Structure 1
Amino acid sequence: MRNPYDVLGVAKGASEADIKKAYRRLAKTHHPDRNKDDAAAKDRFAEANAAYEILGDADKRGQFDRGEIDNDGKPRATGFEGFSGFGGGRGNAFDFENMARGRGPHPAGGGGIGDDIFSTLFGEAFRAGGAGGGGAGGFQRGPARGEDIAAELSVTLEQVAGEEKLRLTLPGGRDVDVVVPRGVVDGQTIRLRGLGHPAPARGEPGDALLTIRILPHPRFTVEGADLRAEVELPLADAVLGGPLRVGTLTGTVEMRVPPMTGSGRTFRLRGKGLPRKDGSRGDLLAKTAVSLPAGEDAALTAWAKGVRGEGA
């Protein structure tokens, strides 16, 4: 895969919000469901998802920026730098070209060591060279990898908040248990490794690319990790102040409103929103809507007219 920053089209110093925005734009543009006639869209979609798996995770992003993992998120090979080998300095540790031809430095009284050193580094596959011959000229790629499959999982806000484990049937009829990832956003695709199509000749199976769809909620709207909701405030409590019970995704909580609280005032209930990747939670922003008791409309209208000096 290309450099994840290039894939998402963001700078190395981009904020978490910019990275998420870039990912969601690419995922929406290249999603296979929207590009059924474009075979290359699936590859671009998978590439954007793989890039976000690295840059969307603070730990993995740090590892990538420090050079500890490569563009595919795999640990980089270590141990070669500084090896002085057979000739002294770091600059001439190995003459790979000559050694691959069996013409490299020889131990005293010994034969060529090119094949031996490559067999040590890369395994017997180099020595045997597969069916086509030995040494570097016969080195071949491993078995082909199985194809990826695409699937969707619809979840409720309650399931996101609870990070619940859900049973999902993948294309082909395979049942798997999936834990709703912490900090997931609508439209995000997660990679379930090894759950795609099997590969021929005992190769590595493909992956399942699972797109998360967060279902609309009757009471809450989502703003990142925060939630917004409107709560009904009785007129007496709005005038005099008092306790107000507010429903959240994880149960009902009680807060106090001050006297003379009007409609449209927003209160922040910290930690009652959705989970973030770092384990913290967003807030619930509760907006008041003052409600009048039944039968009070006429009395209030008459009172208002009396204040304004209007006739009955």
Structure 2
Amino acid sequence: MAGDPYAALGLTRSATDADIKKAYRKIAKTDHPDLNPDAAATERFKAASSAYDLLKDPEQRRRFDAGEIDEQGQERPQRRTYREHAEAAGNPYARSYGFDGDPDLSDVFSDLFGGRAGAGFRQGGFQQGTGRDFHMRGQDYRFSLEVDFMTAAKGGKTRITLPDGGGLEVTIPKGVRDGQTIRLKGKGGAGMGQGGPGDAYLTVSVADHPDFRREGDDIFLILPIGIDEAVLGGKIAAPTIDGPVNLTIPKGASSGQKLRLRGRGINGGDQQVELKIVMPPTVDEDLSRFMEEWRRSHGYDPRRGMTS
């Protein structure tokens, strides 16, 4: 990623951690290669992913803001004056100012590269092959992945497009929750030298279902029943995430009454069924006449006892 990571997310340096996460999710939803095949969108998504990977970590963000690391998370070389170089140990032209023991330049490179480049440095100069001794872990990739309700509930497989254009099949674990992050070890960017590859992190967004709603591991369902089923009761087919099952409706059931199907939720959870009495599409003459006669002999006030 080149340039300002804040600009890549459409933010300024005063942005909060929540602002950074929100901006990244917004870009992912519009410019992810799986959602937008436009080349410019892919580049925006790559830049945003790199920016988020840097700024999400408070310490990395602090160091970037302080100028200690660049936008790629690499150490920035510290400026040294001519005198400091001249006085470094091992310099044949060094001058003495009345004291010895100036720090060896290898310490500088140890500071710059975390000790990883020190093996390629020798007092008085560089030894051949320094580049081969530099090791760095690969970049982590971060994606926003939307899955349908049933895939999240029962598990499944899907494919994502990596920043380099390659594809990766992902196994969605059974019962994954909205907002949960899945780690794919070693599926990030390639490392340098002996540095291993980075990881890929998938933040899951679970789409709504037209009938089911989830709370924890329980599934909630509003089940319509007819007036005859409410009055007479009986067994009816109720949908679950594993297919329809028989549910016993008690005689005289009311809207809002709740029944439980044990073990029919997610990972051993239950399914809660709320009954809802639904009138027929048309109230015909037979039904009207029956209800008029019934009301004359059996009428009751369901609102009795309510305060006015």
Residue number in structure 2 paired with 1:153:
145
1:19-39 residue CA offsets vs partner (Å, 9 max, x unmatched) = xxxxxxx88974561598998
User: 1:167-200: CA deviations, max 9, x gaps?
Assistant: 2222322211211123321011111111112223
Q: Which runs of 4+ in 1 moved over 4 A?
A: 26-29, 34-41, 43-47
State the aligned residue count.
194
Q: Residues of 2 paired with 1:249 and 1:189: CA distance?
A: 23
Change (3 A) 1:261 1:175: same
**Partner deviation per Cα, 1:42-66 (whole Å, 9 max, x = no partner):** 457579xxxxxxxxxxxxxxxxxxx
State the distance in 1 between where 2:182 and 2:122 align: 41
Aligned to 1:272: 264
> Contact between 1:160 and 1:180, CA under 8 Å: does it hold in 2?
yes
Runs of at least 5 residues in structure 1 that lack an aligned partner in the other structure:
1-25, 48-125, 135-140, 276-280
- The alpha carbon displacement at 1:264 in A equals 0.8
Asked if 1:288 is matched to 2:275, the reply is: yes
User: 8 Å contact 2:134–2:192 — kept in the other structure?
Assistant: no
CA contact (8 A) 1:31 1:41 kept: no
- Structure 2: which 5+ residue stretches go unaligned? 1-16, 28-47, 59-114, 124-132, 301-308
1:165 pairs with 2:165: no
Change (3 A) 1:43 1:268: farther
C-alpha displacement of 1:268: 1.1
TM-score (norm 1): 0.53
Identity, % of aligned pairs?
32
- For 1:233-252, list aligned pairs within 5 A: 233-252=225-244
Aligned in 2, Cα 1:220/1:303: closer, same or farther, shift over 3 Å?
farther
Larger gyration radius, structure 1 or structure 2? 2
Distance 2:50 2:168 in 1: 27
Shift of 1:262: 1.0
- Give the letter for the 1:249 counterpart: I
Deviations 1:62-115 (A, max 9, x none): xxxxxxxxxxxxxxxxxxxxxxxxxxxxxxxxxxxxxxxxxxxxxxxxxxxxxx
Code of the residue aligned with 2:168 in structure 1: it is: V
Q: Tell me which of 206, 229, 243 is aligned to 1:214.
A: 206
> Is the contact between residue 156 and residue 174 of structure 2 (CA under 8 Å) also seen in structure 1?
no
Normalised by the size of structure 2, how large is the TM-score?
0.53
Letter in 2 for 1:162: K
